[in-house]
Amino acid sequence: MPGSPDWVNATRPRQRNTLCYDDGIANIRFTISTASDVQTAIRMHAEAAGMDVSAYMIAAAVAQMARDDAATATFAALDARNQAAFEQTGDVPEADLPSFDALTADEQALVHRVLASALGSDAAGVA
C-alpha cells in the first residue's frame, strides 16, 4: 500500500553506507549542533570518504575515544602516583597565613606587584 512504512522502505533506494543500519542493530539517535561551515566541511569529508555523515561522525568519535583511551593508559601510572601523593597530604595541617602587616616590606611589595598584575591596575590596596 503506497504511503505505508513497508511500501516506503521497499521502494526507497538504499543510499546509506552505515553498517549498523543494515545489520538491524538498535540505534540511539542524537543531534549535534555545529556552525554551517563546519557542517558543510563534515559533509564534504564524509562524501570524500564514501560514507554518510552518521558513519563518518561515528568513525571520528571512535578514533577520538581510542586516542583518549591511549592517553589515559599512558598516564595511568603517573595519575596513580599523583593521587597517592595527594592522599598523603590529607594529614598535613594547613599553615595559618600571616596577616599582611606581619609580612616584611619586600614581601608586601611582592604582594602589591602580584595584585597589580592580576587586577591590571595599581588597585593593590585591597590586600
Q: Is the dihedral of CA 49, 52, 53, 58 positive or negative?
A: negative
**At residue 8, what are phi and psi to the nearest 5 degrees?**
-60, -45
- Tens of pLDDT, residue by residue over 7-35, are 445 555 555 555 555 556 667 888 889 99
For residues 52 and 32, give the distance between their C-alpha atoms in angstroms, rounded to a whole number. 15
- Tens of pLDDT, residue by residue over 77-127, are 999 999 999 888 877 788 888 899 999 999 999 999 999 898 876 554 554
For the chain, the domains span 1-70
**First and final C-alpha spacing in the chain:** 80
- Tens of pLDDT, residue by residue over 52-72, are 999 999 999 999 999 999 999
pTM of this structure: 0.48
